[in-house]
């Protein structure tokens, strides 16, 4: 109501721009013609299950969750207390870059590995990601466990 009386209107330099609108329509056409929403659902579920399998094997993994191709994996120092594994998550992030995999960290403690895969991500891509992910997690957990002994 406050804005109704003072004449302020919403304005955007590119709002309604025909070129921008046409580009958006082209993107939506590709999403539909290549069935990318279904791909995100199917491959996302596949990736989520594979990441959960990895999580069952390693104490470093606290929780794996998400929907579609937007997934998160908690990295913890202790599976019982769920103390955030901040340094371990950082190590995983940088070790995956050595394998040409770029992920980011999120969460209040930056211990959640965030997977934001493109809609064209395939099961073959998911297999590659999980293979490298498991290798890196196994190495980091082994190193951590040896230091604690």
Question: What digits encode the pLDDT tens for the residues 105-122?
Answer: 999 999 999 999 999 999
Read off the pLDDT band of 145 (50, 70, 90).
Answer: confident
Q: What pLDDT, on a 0 to 100 scale, did the predictor assign at position 7?
A: 59
Within-domain flag for 144 = yes
Contacts of 85 (CB under 8 A, 6+ apart): 60, 62, 75, 76, 77, 111
Read off the pLDDT band of 8 (50, 70, 90).
Answer: low
Q: How far is residue 95's CA from residue 106's CA, in Å, rounded to a whole number?
A: 17
The CATH number of the domain where 75 resides is what?
A: 3.90.1150.10
Within-domain flag for 8 = no
pLDDT in tens, 43-102: 999 999 999 999 999 999 999 999 999 999 999 998 899 999 999 999 999 999 999 999
Task: Give me 3's structure tokens.
Answer: 């804005």
Q: Tell me the pTM.
A: 0.84
Beta strands in 35-143 (DSSP E): 61-67, 70-75, 104-106, 112-116
Within-domain flag for 10 = no
DSSP designation for 80: T
Q: How many domains would you assign to the chain?
A: 1
Within-domain flag for 23 = yes
Q: Which residue has the tokens 């594994």?
A: 85
DSSP designation for 63: E
Within-domain flag for 9 = no
Q: Which domain holds residue 30?
A: 17-148
Q: What pLDDT, on a 0 to 100 scale, did the predictor assign at position 94?
A: 97
Q: What pLDDT, on a 0 to 100 scale, did the predictor assign at position 2?
A: 54
Within-domain flag for 48 = yes
13-18: average pLDDT: 76
Is the separation of the CB atoms in 130 and 54 below 8 Å? Answer: yes
Q: Is the pLDDT of residue 9 over 70?
A: no
């Amino acid at each position: 109501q406050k804005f109704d009386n003072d004449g302020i209107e919403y304005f955007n330099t590119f709002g309604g721009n025909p070129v921008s609108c046409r580009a958006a329509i082209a993107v939506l056409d590709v999403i539909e013609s290549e069935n990318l929403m279904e791909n995100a659902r199917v491959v996302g579920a596949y990736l989520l299950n594979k990441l959960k399998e990895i999580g069952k094997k390693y104490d470093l993994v606290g929780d794996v969750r998400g929907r579609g191709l937007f997934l998160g994996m908690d990295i913890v120092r202790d599976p019982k207390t769920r103390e955030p594994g901040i340094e371990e998550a950082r190590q995983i992030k940088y070790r995956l870059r050595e394998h040409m995999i770029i992920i980011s960290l999120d969460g209040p403690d930056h211990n959640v590995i965030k997977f934001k895969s493109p809609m064209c991500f395939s099961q073959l891509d998911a297999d590659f990601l999980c293979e490298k992910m498991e290798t890196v997690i196994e190495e980091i957990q082994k190193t951590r466990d040896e230091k604690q002994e």
